[in-house]
Amino acid sequence: MIPLRRLLVGIGVAALIVAPIGQGNYIIYTLSSWLLFSIAAMGLNLTLGYAGQVSLAQAGFMGIGAYVTALMTLAGIHWLFAAVASISACFLIGLMLGYPALRVQHHFLAFVTLAFNTLLFLVLRNEEEITGGSFGLVGMPRPDFFGFSTMKNLQFYYFTLVCFLLAAGVMWWILRSPWGRAFKALRENPIRAESLGLKIRRQTLLAFAFGSAFAGLAGALQSPLVQFIEPSSFGLIHSLKLLLMVVVGGAGYFFGPMLGAAVVILLPEVLRFTEGYYLIIYAVLVIVLMVYSPGGLIGLGRKLYDWMKPGQEARRDIEQGVQL
């Protein structure tokens, strides 16, 4: 099974390398958006899917990462240092946002994170001297690395792909480390996990901090990709969109956020040939998926695999022995 999984991952990476070749700028831009939203959804999947902590503030952390990167790169600082600052800022703020999770859970925690996202939106809109207010910030440069420029869309796509693979590797390492096992124990039964010696308080804070740091990296990539950011790009509707990516793909599965981001970002573009009906078709497909497979696309795949797998038959001699 493990060699097969490695083969499938290798085929997937090869497909990502080949996908933009020969495509127009809009398709390459859409693929880049899918990669960076996959990074943000991976972080939310860690907080929600693995640690069981509800968060509606993921787009807000993308906004923090995007604005920190924009302000620093517009001041002449290289993107790499700006990205490190964005990830660090989101990690620390995510750590602080985790404190309410120590006292409230479930939908109450969702309201707390919702309030944080709304408060951040108001700060970004009203602090015009720093953030540009409703007019936003424009003209963020794309980075150069040792003579390799990412100014063209195809070059920036491969730069985003490298960041995506690094983020996926870090997430894979976290999930297979003692932290990852502690997050799963926190999700399944916090009281039992604490009785076994797990420090619930620390794990809850780290779940928010790690998830927010991934959103910070996604924001640091979004800033040079679109080269224009404004507060409404990081409002509640985008946090709900990230939540939809995790749920549709499969919360608690490693590849779930990537599949979910593909559905949310790429599927509407695929359905555009239906003209005015594409949003209706898209909404119906998502509703049908959620009704028949609450575990998302990964859960649906597992159901099909179990249905196609031959069932175990009892040995006839054992059945005869039971009858005797």
Asked if residue 108 belongs to a domain, the reply is yes
Asked if residue 297 belongs to a domain, the reply is no
Asked if residue 201 belongs to a domain, the reply is yes
> What tokens were used for 301?
């795949």
pLDDT-derived band of residue 236, with 50, 70 and 90 as boundaries? confident
**What pLDDT score was predicted for residue 42?**
94
Torsion of CA 228, 140, 165, 176, to 10 degrees: -80
Q: Which amino acid is at 122?
A: L
Asked if residue 6 belongs to a domain, the reply is no
- Cα 28 to Cα 142: distance, rounded to the nearest angstrom: 16
pLDDT-derived band of residue 322, with 50, 70 and 90 as boundaries? very low
**What pLDDT score was predicted for residue 103?**
76
Mean pLDDT of the 269-279 span: 73
Asked if residue 250 belongs to a domain, the reply is no
Question: CB-hemisphere CA count at 13 Å for 74?
Answer: 18
Question: Which range marks the domain in which residue 134 is found?
Answer: 24-238
116-148 per-position pLDDT tens digit: 999 999 999 998 888 988 899 998 999 998 888
Q: Who's near 86: CB < 8 A, 6+ residues apart?
A: 64, 65, 66, 68, 69, 216, 217, 219, 220
Asked if residue 210 belongs to a domain, the reply is yes
Asked if residue 40 belongs to a domain, the reply is yes
> What tokens were used for 135?
């007019």
Average pLDDT over all residues of the chain: 86
User: Is pLDDT of 315 > 60?
Assistant: no
pTM of the model: 0.89
**What pLDDT score was predicted for residue 62?**
95
C-alpha distances (whole Å) from 61 to each of 55, 86, 212 are 11, 9, 6
User: Is pLDDT of 284 > 90?
Assistant: no
**What pLDDT score was predicted for residue 319?**
54
pLDDT-derived band of residue 162, with 50, 70 and 90 as boundaries? very high
Q: What's the structural domain count of the chain?
A: 1
The helix/strand/coil state of 229 is strand
CA 193 and chain centroid, separation: 26
Asked if residue 290 belongs to a domain, the reply is no
**What pLDDT score was predicted for residue 308?**
79
Q: Who's near 253: CB < 8 A, 6+ residues apart?
A: 45, 49, 296, 298, 299
Contact 52, 111 (CB under 8 A): no
